Amino acid sequence: MNKDNNKIIAVDAMGGDNAPRAVCLGAAEACRKFDDLSIILTGNAELINLELESVSSEIKKRISVVHAEEVISMDEHPAMAIRKKHKSSLRLAMEMVRSGEAQGCVSAGNTGAIVAGGLLIVGRIKGIDRPALGAYLPTIERPSFMIDVGATVRCKPENLYQFALMGNIYSRKILKVKEPEIKLLSNGTEDIKGDECVLAARELIIKNNNLNFQGYTEGNDIVWGRSDIIVCDGFMGNVALKFGEGIMQGLKSLLSTEVKKSVTAQAGMLLMSGVVKRLWTRFNYEKYGGTPLLGVQGVVIKAHGRSKEPAIVNAIAVARDFIAERGVELISNEL
Amino acid sequence: MNKDNNKIIAVDAMGGDNAPRAVCLGAAEACRKFDDLSIILTGNAELINLELESVSSEIKKRISVVHAEEVISMDEHPAMAIRKKHKSSLRLAMEMVRSGEAQGCVSAGNTGAIVAGGLLIVGRIKGIDRPALGAYLPTIERPSFMIDVGATVRCKPENLYQFALMGNIYSRKILKVKEPEIKLLSNGTEDIKGDECVLAARELIIKNNNLNFQGYTEGNDIVWGRSDIIVCDGFMGNVALKFGEGIMQGLKSLLSTEVKKSVTAQAGMLLMSGVVKRLWTRFNYEKYGGTPLLGVQGVVIKAHGRSKEPAIVNAIAVARDFIAERGVELISNEL
């Protein structure tokens, strides 16, 4: 049995482009960083143990391995894979959350399968119709929490309202924002903008009058951080987040090509390396760490598919915070 | 009467954040640049004539002014404003297109009103259910033409199919791309992605089999230019385009703040100014110039609301090309 404050997190060792290495080493690093943490790695035991060879025995005491025969790949049909692959590393990790063996789980695998597993294995919170993935976006004025970035592709007004409610709790309790400002992503800030769904969601939020709601926000506001929470459907959130990532990757690649062409520019780049690094760190849309799947009856954190070791540590840290703050209970109680 | 090749374009002198000055001077500059061009400026005649004082009499011969008593502002309800403001500069310009007095029109004003005017004054092309705004996006590999960036907020599958058809003609005839590759913007590139509407649009395009259709494209592909044409609804296109603009503006602002803090960085910036300028020019999402409103029975070009003189010249040049290539006829004939 775990000590009172000990947190047990199941981690899908096979999920993501850099699995199992980055996941195993990230899990070990997280244990080093947080001494109240135990981790269960699910996946191919042989491969996992190989990756853990370099880890000290002191840390290894807090890592256990549960063998999983199957892996859900990135391009499998999410719901089908979760239903059929009973012995997949992701499903095993989620079953541990359902049974209480683990208090939360983390995966960098197939997003759709994580969402489907959240619904089918972990289960919905009563009162929430559809779950949402929230991501912490880098911005200029203050970080914004965008919800949903890909769990529920298209939404009804009630879904968007529930996303606003869940985002509000997450922002207050986990991100420690007082009275978070909430805005709906729309095609303009004026009241006449929006499609039918966004308009109806706006009216629903205003009618319920229990949130610090500030109306619409538009595309160019995102980067300035004009609100603490940006509510949108999962289709829009997915495209926006990936577009942000793409622009930063594109600029980085072009910058390096251009600089290589000129010795003067290379000298300039040396002098500016601090500034460029700071900008890059600040606007790296991949660095948002773990995105919580909100609306399910357990702590489920999705890490970016391209996660390297630090991003896995970050996602585990998010799961740890969420457990410590009893985030799932808070959402259930507030509904 | 105009000579055979002469093109007459009506320009809404009152539309946009920098009107009437930037519009009037842009119109004069366009006449200097293209000697087959005549321009009719609609708007407050007194203000327009004041702005034209510095223009040479040679150029002024090709500019006429038609007084308009009313202006449609940026935050007015689009359809209502077009219906009620019979004497607005935008409506007058569009009426000239309908009557044939002008062969095309340009406005940097209220986007919604331009779309509404396109539908109500200029009229739809038979066979097109909803119009679309197309924008030429800066990317790394090749420029992409995104359609729709804000005319039709939410779409049916048929609308998206028609956008693909119109984008194809525009890309081939105006942008001179051979067999343009067309992709649908989705929340992932795999066939299982997309919402109901995008999925149905995909099937419709495949069934008709008359386009070089290459499936889905996702957010991070946009910046790399993975297709010649990106088809999406106007809500998504609007948010994506504005987000792109916002990121570039944000980076520019942060870069200048950071550089000011350090003398070393300032020296570096001097050495790198060429590279930074090239990147900025290449990825300036505001510089896409004129966006054509496709699907209406006349040449209607929207310029960015923040357009300065060069952007107005650019938008007029787009209108001129569209007239010369008989773009509207081509779209009508192909349907």
Q: Tell me the nearest-neighbour CA distance from A121 into chain B, angstroms.
A: 21
Letter for the amino acid at A25?
L
Question: What pTM was estimated for this model as a whole?
Answer: 0.91
The rounded distance, in Å, linking the Cα atoms of B133 and B137 is: 13
The rounded distance, in Å, linking the Cα atoms of B160 and A204 is: 29
Give the up-direction half-sphere exposure of residue A255: CA atoms within 13 A in the CB hemisphere.
18
- Residue B190 pLDDT > 50: yes
- Residue A37 pLDDT > 50: yes
The rounded distance, in Å, linking the Cα atoms of B193 and B185 is: 10
Q: Which residues of A179-190 are buried (b: 16+ CB within 10 A; e: fewer)?
A: ebbbbbbbbbbb
Predicted pLDDT of residue A2: 45
The three-class DSSP label of residue B313 is helix
> What average pLDDT does this structure show over A206-220?
94
- Nearest by CB to residue B241, choosing from A219, A236, A253, is A219
Predicted pLDDT of residue A290: 87
- Nearest by CB to residue A271, choosing from B154, B195, B265, is B265
> What average pLDDT does this structure show over A290-307?
94
Interface test with B, best of A73, A139, A235, A236 (most B CBs within 10 A): A235
Task: Write out the two tokens for A331.
Answer: 């959402």
- Nearest by CB to residue B251, choosing from A153, A271, A279, is A279
Letter for the amino acid at B315?
A
The rounded distance, in Å, linking the Cα atoms of A281 and B335 is: 49
- What residues of chain B, 121 to 150, have a C-beta less than 8 Å from chain A? 139-140, 150
Predicted pLDDT of residue B255: 87
**Nearest residue of A to residue B241, measured between CA atoms:** A219
Predicted pLDDT of residue B249: 86
In whole numbers, what is the pLDDT of chain B averaged over residues? 92
| pLDDT tens per residue across span B50-91 | 999 999 999 999 999 999 999 999 888 999 999 999 999 999
If one compares A297 and A142, the residue with the highest pLDDT of the two is: A297
Identify the H or E element spanning B7: strand B7-12
Q: Does residue B49 contact residue B27 with C-beta atoms inside 8 Å? A: no
The rounded distance, in Å, linking the Cα atoms of B122 and B328 is: 12
User: Among the listed ranges A98-107, A188-197, A294-303, B271-280, which one has the minimum average pLDDT value?
Assistant: B271-280
Taken in order of first residue, the domains within chain A and their CATH numbers are 7-128+295-325 (3.40.718.10), 132-287 (3.40.718.10)
- Nearest by CB to residue A240, choosing from B197, B239, B267, is B239
The rounded distance, in Å, linking the Cα atoms of A280 and B266 is: 18
- What residues of chain B, 251 to 270, have a C-beta less than 8 Å from chain A? 251, 253-255, 258-259, 262, 264-265, 267-270
Predicted pLDDT of residue B87: 97
| pLDDT tens per residue across span A300-326 | 999 998 899 999 999 999 999 999 999
> What average pLDDT does this structure show over A170-184?
93
| B55 interface with A at CB cutoff 8 Å | no
Q: Does residue B279 contact residue B139 with C-beta atoms inside 8 Å? A: no
pLDDT band for position B1 (cuts 50, 70, 90): very low
| pLDDT tens per residue across span A115-147 | 999 999 999 999 999 999 999 888 888 889 999
- Nearest by CB to residue B234, choosing from A187, A218, A236, is A187
Phi first, then psi, for residue B237 (nearest 5°) are -60, -40
Q: Does residue A103 contact residue A323 with C-beta atoms inside 8 Å? A: yes
- Residue B182 pLDDT > 50: yes
**Nearest residue of B to residue A74, measured between CA atoms:** B190
The three-class DSSP label of residue A137 is strand
| pLDDT tens per residue across span A64-106 | 999 999 999 988 899 999 999 999 999 999 999 999 999 999 9
Q: Where on the phi/psi map is residue B77: left (φ > 0), alpha (ψ -120 to 50), or beta? A: beta
Judge: B223–A249 Cβ closer than 8 Å, yes or no: yes
| pLDDT tens per residue across span A194-207 | 999 999 999 999 99
In angstroms, what CA-CA distances link A107 with A14, A135, A208, B72? Answer: 8, 15, 35, 52
Judge: B251–A251 Cβ closer than 8 Å, yes or no: yes
- Residue B3 pLDDT > 80: no
- Residue B333 pLDDT > 70: yes
| B246 interface with A at CB cutoff 8 Å | yes
Predicted pLDDT of residue A1: 42
In angstroms, what CA-CA distances link A186 with A190, A199, B250? Answer: 9, 9, 20
Predicted pLDDT of residue A49: 97
| pLDDT tens per residue across span A234-252 | 999 999 999 988 888 888 8
Q: Does residue A158 contact residue A239 with C-beta atoms inside 8 Å? A: no
- Integer-rounded Cα Rg, in Å, for chain A is 20
| A218 interface with B at CB cutoff 8 Å | yes
Q: What is the number of other CB atoms lying within 10 angstroms of the CB of residue A279?
A: 18
